[in-house]
Amino acid sequence: MEQGSETLKHSTAFLQLQHLLQEQCVMTEEGIRVAIASKEVPAASLKNPSDPDTIFRTKHNEKHIGYVANLVEVRM
């Protein structure tokens, strides 16, 4: 069992989940993780450990979740 848990600790999914918890939670004196207020979570923080490229942003009072692209058309 020890070998399996070591393999899990180094898996991408585990590392991303660990990263998410470090960015979006604080540890109490009792050792309990508590989510921080959503307004305090950095904009560049990981939003979804299963898809680290997705984002959440608000621009011009519109909410965007997932993938966002800014395109410019240039005519010559």
Mean pLDDT throughout 9-26?
86
Query: Across the chain, how many H-helices and E-strands are there?
Result: 2, 4
Report the alpha-carbon angle 22-23-28, nearest 5.
Answer: 55
pTM, two decimal places: 0.57
Segment 32-41, tens digit of pLDDT: 999 999 888 8
Other Cβ atoms closer than 10 A to 47: 19
Percent of the chain with pLDDT over 90: 18
- How far is Cα 75 from Cα 41, in angstroms, rounded to an integer? 40
42 is written with which tokens? 């950095």
Do 64 and 52 touch, CB atoms closer than 8 A? no
